[in-house]
């Protein structure tokens, strides 16, 4: 006799934060939680990202849903929702006190606490460099960022590669150039010749990009310091 399929018809609705598209999903199952735990213990941002992507594509039931079209923050937000439906909305996290570093158990309602920071506050993607030159920036490529994080590259080289992947077009008074069409040497020289102020404008834009966040506040059981902090990105929620 075949065992019954439990939980096969539990479904929920939500919307994709960036597009407001309605989707239907089922909760995360024990097998998926196992995959996720292994991924968080791997210490590899790439493994964690791939696991989150795989689980979301398995749990979203909407026809023609394509996980590859989601932004990184959409993906992480949907993941948190479908996971909290399964493991329970309230969960204990161990968070270090900013004053004495004692690890405190903090109970968090993920479904209620997780939100998209900067969702409608993204800065203008056109950056004025002065002297008639400006650039437009495109979104951050999560997959490329993960490759960089796992590479042995120095921080300076990583910054170069992030900026290189984000510049979309370069405008002068006479022409518009697609940055990626230029040679590596040309691009390198262009980025290398930026002033600190121009670089800061790009960094400010990067900081303004939407991301999944949670506001955490607790009083440390050891030193009584009132900790208040914003966790950003799911890797900071689960490690
Ligand atoms: Zn403390």
The closest alpha carbon to 110, from 124, 92, 132, belongs to 92
Residue 4 inside a domain? The answer is no
| Cα–Cα separations (whole angstroms), residue 233 to 47, 122, 126, 205, 214 | 15, 17, 25, 17, 9
Strand partners, 93: 106
- pLDDT value at position 172? 95
pLDDT value, residue 8 = 66
pTM of the model: 0.81
Instruction: Find the Cα–Cα–Cα–Cα dihedral 47, 8, 91, 116, rounded to 10°.
Output: 60
Do 199 and 137 share a structural domain? yes
**How high is the pLDDT of residue 239?**
65
> What's the domain count of the chain?
2
Q: Is residue 160 part of a domain?
A: yes
Tell how far the Cα of 218 is from the centroid of ligand 1, in angstroms: 10
Distance 99 CA to ligand 1 centre (A): 5
How far is the centre of ligand 1, averaged over its atoms, from the C-alpha of 153 (Å)? 35
Residue 106 lies in a domain: yes
pLDDT tens digits for range 16-32: 998 999 999 998 888 88
- Asked if residue 166 is part of any domain, the answer here is yes
From CA 206, how far away is CA 89, in angstroms rounded?
31
The parent domain of residue 136 ranges over 126-207
* Burial label, 36 (beta-carbon count in 10 A; 0-12, 13-18, 19+): buried
Looking at the structure, tell me whether residues 74 and 132 fall in a common domain. Answer: no
Same domain, yes or no: 92 and 18: yes
- Report strand pairing: 114-117 vs 211-219: antiparallel
Given a contact cutoff of 8 angstroms between Cβ atoms, the answer to whether 169 and 136 are in contact is: yes
* Domain co-membership, 141 together with 179: yes
- 238 CA → ligand 1 middle, Å: 20
Ligand 1 midpoint to CA 176 (Å): 54
Q: Are residues 79 and 140 in the same domain?
A: no
**Which residue ranges in the chain fall short of pLDDT 50?**
none
Helix (H) or strand (E) holding 92: strand 90-96
State the DSSP code for 125. Answer: S
- Kindly give the distance from the C-alpha atom of residue 106 to the centroid of ligand 1, in angstroms, as a whole number: 13
- Give the Cα separation of 75 and 80 in Å (integer): 9
Domain membership of residue 85 (yes or no) is yes
99 and 156 part of one domain: no
| C-alpha of residue 140 to centroid of ligand 1, in Å | 36
Q: List pLDDT tens digits, range 177-225.
A: 999 999 999 999 999 999 999 999 998 998 888 999 999 999 999 999 9
Report how far residue 210's alpha carbon sits from residue 230's, in angstroms, rounded to the nearest whole number.
14
Q: What is the pLDDT of residue 51?
A: 93
101 C-alpha to ligand 1 centroid (Å): 6
Rounded CA separation 5/3 (Å): 7
């Amino acid at each position: 006799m075949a065992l019954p399929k439990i939980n096969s018809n539990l479904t929920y609705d939500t919307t994709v934060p960036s597009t407001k598209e309605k989707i239907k999903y089922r909760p995360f199952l024990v097998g998926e939680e196992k995959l996720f735990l292994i991924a968080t213990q791997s210490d590899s941002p790439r493994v964690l990202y791939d696991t989150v992507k795989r689980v979301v594509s398995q749990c979203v039931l909407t026809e023609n849903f394509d996980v590859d079209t989601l932004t990184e923050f959409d993906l992480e937000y949907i993941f948190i929702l479908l996971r909290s439906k399964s493991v329970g909305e309230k969960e204990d996290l161990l968070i270090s006190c900013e004053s004495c570093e004692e690890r405190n158990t903090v109970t968090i309602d993920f479904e209620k606490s997780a939100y998209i920071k900067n969702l409608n506050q993204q800065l203008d993607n056109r950056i004025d460099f002065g002297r008639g030159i400006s650039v437009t920036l495109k979104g951050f490529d999560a997959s490329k960022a993960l490759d960089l994080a796992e590479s042995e590259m120095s921080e300076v080289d990583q910054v170069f590669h992030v900026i290189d992947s984000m510049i979309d077009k370069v405008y002068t008074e006479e022409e518009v150039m697609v940055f990626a069409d230029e040679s590596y040497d040309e691009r390198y020289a262009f980025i290398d010749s930026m002033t600190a102020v121009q670089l800061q404008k790009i960094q400010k834009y990067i900081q303004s990009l939407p991301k999944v966040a949670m506001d955490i506040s607790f009083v440390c059981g050891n030193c009584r310091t009132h900790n208040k902090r914003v966790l950003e990105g799911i890797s900071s929620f689960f490690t």
